Amino acid sequence: MKAALPVSPLAPDGFPDLPAIAGVAAAIGQAGLYKHARPDLALFAVAEGTRAAGVFTSNAVGSAPTDWCRAALKGKGRVRGLLVNAGCANSFTGPAGYAAATRSAAAAGALLGAEAEEMLLASTGVIGVVLDDAKVRAVLPDMGDRLAPVDWPAAARAIMTTDTFPKGAGETARIDGVRVSIAGIAKGSGMIAPNMGTMLAFVFTDAAIAAPALKAMLRAETETSFNAITVDGDRSTNDCVLLFATGAAGNDTIKAADDPRLDGFRKALRRVLVDLAIQIVRDGEGATKLVSVHVKGAASDASAKIIARTICESPLVKTAIAGEDANWGRIVMAVGRADQPIVREKISVKFGPHWAAKNGMVAKSYDEAAMSAYMKGAELDITVDVGAGDGAAMMHTCDLTKRYVEINGDYRS
């Protein structure tokens, strides 16, 4: 059996205690999609009447499961379950891959008394290999017999690939005085630069919310969570975030995303998504530093985000951080190559509370010893003002270490 990767030094102390979600059951299975024995399947069953929404990768290659989900979610967004496999991305597999996805959805749906089109699918693993759905279908009947309230840590572990720890987050809120719960799991460690790795996230709530409202909220909140992280700049073929609402809490169904009754729920959903997204960065392949990059003074928020992403994805910036070197010159370089409006004479760079550059030149207060001491921390903040307007954005990333190369050089071994 292949040795497990050591747990990231940035990992949380443990898996959180997530709330139970009425109307959701799950079972974990082992289809043998890996060379070594490990759980690699998760089947979720949701109550009849559940609505769902999804946000998917903008990678033009895509995958059979993302194609399937896009088609299944057209219309009213009514679903009955979700089948997730690790060990095979089923991407770049042509008609054979889509046929395998179809058979898997049909088999899972039959267990739940549902049509294939009422099942959603997600896959993660090696690209270019057709899913061996015969293995999946062989273990599904046993999984159907074992459906029970969700064991969130087990479900999170079943979908891991190069992840070193399972990822979960939960919250509660109130809608019209009715208590509703949210619980989510995610996986991701490499091939992470979502623009809606492989990054997958599944979030469940017992609130009653119509599919169009779910979709609008999810799209908006993904922008400041999963679309505001990057590990290595590579956008996967399989990235997806799925949000399910069972309605079992009993509140009156909310039909519009801008309904003020959703304010508390939206904030809770945002906290769950941001928590999961940052956990993915904490588990970045080979990572030893969690870095938050704040860009302000940009021509627009969109421009600020482009600058922040350019900084976060610069190999020279990321390796300097790995070496605990506050090399602000590399940050200025990244700002300049982002091809966004800037005012050179106003650019300022700060590491935590320490100014490195102010108004286009080295800060008069620059203190190399204080800067070096700050860079030894496990969590770092970098603030950049580009002096061109009022736009602002924040992104999270990690450092780039030798371990990243080792992990990815050995990925298919």
Strand arrangement, sheet containing 148-149:
119-124, 81-86, 41-46, 24-29, 148-149
75, exposed or middle or buried, with CB in 10 Å at 0-12, 13-18, 19+? exposed
> Which residues have C-beta within 8 Å of that of residue 329, sequence separation ≥ 6?
none
Q: Which of 164, 198, 310, 397 is catalytic?
A: 198
The answer to whether the CB of 282 falls within 8 A of the CB of 169 is no
Distance (Å) of CA 68 to CA 43, 187, 250: 16, 20, 30
Q: Is 230 a catalytic residue?
A: no
Which neighbouring-strand residues pair with 24? Answer: 46
The answer to whether the CB of 143 falls within 8 A of the CB of 27 is yes
Secondary structure letter of residue 5 according to DSSP = P
Secondary structure letter of residue 252 according to DSSP = P
Question: For residue 379, how many other CB atoms are within 10 A of its CB?
Answer: 11
32, exposed or middle or buried, with CB in 10 Å at 0-12, 13-18, 19+? middle
Amino acid, single-letter form, for residue 226: F
Secondary structure letter of residue 109 according to DSSP = H
The answer to whether the CB of 139 falls within 8 A of the CB of 87 is no
Question: For residue 58, how many other CB atoms are within 10 A of its CB?
Answer: 12
Instruction: Provide the annotated active-site residues.
Output: 198
